[in-house]
Copies of this chain bind each other. A is one copy, B any other.
Amino acid sequence: MDQVEIFKALSNKTRLQILGWLKEPELNFPEQQNADFENVGVCVGQIQLKSGLSQSTISEYLSILQRADLISSTRVGQWTYYKRNKEGLEKLSEIINTAL
């Protein structure tokens, strides 16, 4: 993954917020019932609702974050759940500490 693409993914207020929300899902998405936050995460619809942007926009934002390895997804039935990707974020931390 290109470093520039990671930073581009983070260059947007909503995408940064999403990442923040996914850091504490139980706090930010209390309405999601039967949630297995640890293993699957939060579904697109909940994130879209919270963001106030359109469904298509959020779907695209999530795939941008995923391409940057900052989140990962799991499909369960008709839902796609997204969660924080710890490894990707650690790698980002490392980039900043070693390359910049």
Contact = CB atoms under 8 A, between A and B. Distances in A.
Q: How large is the interface on A (under 10, 10 to 19, 20 to 34, 35 or more residues)?
A: 20 to 34
A19 B92 contact: no
A21 B12 CA distance: 26
B96 A89 contact: yes
A100 B18 CA distance: 9
Contact of A11 (B8, B13, B20, B23): B8
A99 interface: yes
A82 B99 CA distance: 17
Interface in A47-100: 70, 84, 89, 92-93, 96-97, 99-100
Interface in A2-57: 3-4, 7-8, 10-13, 16, 19-20, 23
